[in-house]
Amino acid sequence: MFARPQPLYWLTLDPVRGASHAWLALALALAAAIAGLDYITGYDFSLLIAYLVPIFLATWMIGRAAGVALACIAVGLWTAMFAFKHPFSHPFLFMWEAALQFCVYIIFVVVLNHLRIALAHADERFVTVLEGLHASVYVVDAGGGELLYLNQKGREAFGGGGTSSVREIERRLGIRFADLMVAQQSGAGMPLEMRDSATGKWYWLAVRVMRWVDGRIVQLHIATDITARKQAEEVARQQHEKLDMTARLVTVGEMASVLAHELNQPLAAIANYNMGCVRRLRSGNWRPGELLDALEKSSAQAGRAGSIIQRVREFLRKRELDLAPSDLSGMIMDVAGLIRAEAGRHAIDLRLDLDPRLPKALADGIMIKQVLINLVRNAIEAMQAVPAEQRELRIHSSAESPDRLHVEVADRGPGLPSELTENLFRPFFTTKADGMGMGLQICRSIIEFHGGRMWATANPGGGVVIHFTLVVAKP
Q: How far is the CB of 340 from ligand ADP (least distance, A)?
A: 18
Residue (227 or 430) nearer to ligand ADP, CB: 430
Q: How far is the CB of 347 from ligand ADP (least distance, A)?
A: 17
202/35 Cα distance (integer angstroms): 64
Q: How far is the CB of 462 from ligand ADP (least distance, A)?
A: 11
Does residue 274 belong to the site contacting ligand ADP (CB under 6 A)? no
Q: How far is the CB of 435 from ligand ADP (least distance, A)?
A: 2
Q: How far is the CB of 354 from ligand ADP (least distance, A)?
A: 20
Site for ligand ADP in 290-319 (CB under 6 A): none
* Amino acid at the residue 300: A
Q: How far is the CB of 315 from ligand ADP (least distance, A)?
A: 18
Cβ–Cβ < 8 Å for 105, 114: no
Residue (41 or 431) nearer to ligand ADP, CB: 431
169-188 footprint of ligand ADP as x/- string (CB under 6 A): --------------------
Beta bridge partners of 401: 404
CA-CA distances (angstroms) from residue 170 to 157, 194, 207, 218?
A: 13, 11, 14, 16
403-442 footprint of ligand ADP as x/- string (CB under 6 A): --------x-x--x-------x----xxxx--xxxxxxx-
Cβ–Cβ < 8 Å for 27, 50: no
76/325 Cα distance (integer angstroms): 114
353/458 Cα distance (integer angstroms): 18
| 147-150 and 454-458 beta bridge pairing | unpaired
Which phi-psi region, left, alpha or beta, contains residue 393 (left: φ > 0; alpha: ψ -120 to 50)?
beta
Q: How far is the CB of 329 from ligand ADP (least distance, A)?
A: 22
13/122 Cα distance (integer angstroms): 12
Residue (338 or 454) nearer to ligand ADP, CB: 454
Q: How far is the CB of 434 from ligand ADP (least distance, A)?
A: 8
Does residue 382 belong to the site contacting ligand ADP (CB under 6 A)? yes
Judged by CB under 6 A, the residue of 331, 332, 350, 464 near ligand ADP is 464
Ranked by CB distance to ligand ADP, the top (closest) residue is 435
Residue (204 or 429) nearer to ligand ADP, CB: 429
Does residue 113 belong to the site contacting ligand ADP (CB under 6 A)? no
Of 301, 307, 314, 309, nearest to 272 by C-alpha is 301
389/348 Cα distance (integer angstroms): 8
Judged by CB under 6 A, the residue of 301, 329, 378, 459 near ligand ADP is 378
Q: How far is the CB of 423 from ligand ADP (least distance, A)?
A: 8
- Measured CA angle at 199 (ends 197, 201), to 5 deg: 85
CA dihedral 436, 438, 440, 443 (to 10 degrees): -140
- Identify the helix (H) or strand (E) that includes residue 147: strand 147-150
Residue (196 or 411) nearer to ligand ADP, CB: 411
195/225 Cα distance (integer angstroms): 10
Residue (24 or 464) nearer to ligand ADP, CB: 464
Residue (184 or 430) nearer to ligand ADP, CB: 430
Residue (163 or 431) nearer to ligand ADP, CB: 431
Beta bridge partners of 354: 397
Of 425, 345, 419, 353, nearest to 377 by C-alpha is 345
Residue (76 or 427) nearer to ligand ADP, CB: 427
Q: Which residues in this chain contact ligand ADP in the complex, by CB under 6 A? A: 378-379, 382, 411, 413, 416, 424, 429-432, 435-441, 464
